[in-house]
A = this chain, B = another copy of it.
Amino acid sequence: MSTDSSLRIVQYGLGPIGQATARTVLEKSDAMTLVGAIDIDPDKAGRDVADVIGDDVPPAGVAISDDADAVLATQHPDVVLHTTTSFLDGVTDQLVQCARADAHVVSSTEELSFPYERAPEASNRLDRVAQEEGVVIVGTGVNPGYAMDTLPLTATGVCTDVQAVHVERVVNASERREPLQAKVGAGITTEAFEEKKAGGTFGHIGLRESLWMLADGLGWPLDAVEEELQPVHADAPVDTGFRQVQPGEVAGIHHSATGRIDGQPKLTLDLKMYVGADDSYDAVTVEGEPPIDLRFRGGIFGDTATVGMLVNTVPLAAKAQPGLRTMADLPVPRAFATKPVMEAAH
């Protein structure tokens, strides 16, 4: 671990999210220093990380390497920003590799946001290694990580009793980057939607993790968890600039999860992501004492918010108790190294 106040960061994975987090690390140069970058893509290896991120970024003096062990061993990062894939199966070894290099890990892997139910063995292994090395491993992002778990949990913080929590997130995918429009199936047929759905990895990843985190935070013993995925159809033509969608074609997804106790729907997460939505918003309704009716008007803009959560979790993870952690274990999230801080430092 470095002893100066600037955190040494390695970026592990330079897809769209990793490029955005690396860009933000470079922008917050008073608080963080990008000391390494890892990606297995042969088109990226060897190039300066800034060159991959964008034309507007000055050279960073950090070459992308496909040899993760070498980068971790030579650069001694305080924290690894890990953004490779969504699924635990593919990343557990990578997370262990980072922890063994004595680095905290903040990861965008959706299944890591609350891994205990889906992958108890991997969770035990990650927790054991993290504790042995004295580091924190945590998965975060806007969803899972905030909008449908940390935020509704925080909304219940004022309640003397809670009977049910309902979370609703509507994302107008027209305002989002093209990969998200592709991810929700904008412009495909209903038949193609059903085929993708049958494939098993379509839909939003992490909805169950949010439900589990919320239930765990409240200490609620769910006796059933149900998930449902349906297409939202366009009822008028939509042109997003990236994609054109005709009436009757798929505009996106309606993905929901319900947690039941004694048959009653105590936790409901309802997510609609589709092009041509009138409005984006996030809403949390708590049936409790007092009742809570919370709304983010205009929604939480996910492309930026995912990056915000990852980068803002860096200093919180670096100070937390070692082990495998979730956002429910860390101090309340807050923006890190914003411009008013950096301007005051000069």
Contact residues of A between 231 and 246, Cβ < 8 Å to B: none
List of B residues within 8 angstroms of A300 by Cβ: 158, 290, 292
- Once the chains are docked, how many angstroms separate the CA of A344 from the CA of B300? 35
Name A's interface SS: mixed
Contact A161 B341 (CB under 8 A): no
- Once the chains are docked, how many angstroms separate the CA of A179 from the CA of B295? 30
Q: Mark A213-233, 1 if CB is under 8 A from B, else 0.
A: 000011111000000000000
List of B residues within 8 angstroms of A321 by Cβ: 321
- Once the chains are docked, how many angstroms separate the CA of A311 from the CA of B157? 9
Contact A158 B332 (CB under 8 A): no
Q: Mark A287-322, 1 if CB is under 8 A from B, else 0.
A: 011111111111011001101110110000000010
Partner of A146, one of B153, B157, B343: B157
Contact A293 B293 (CB under 8 A): no
Q: Mark A265-287, 1 if CB is under 8 A from B, else 0.
A: 01000000000000000000000
Contact B157 A312 (CB under 8 A): yes
Q: A146-B158, A221-B344, A334-B156 are in contact. Are A293 and B288 (CB under 8 A)?
A: no
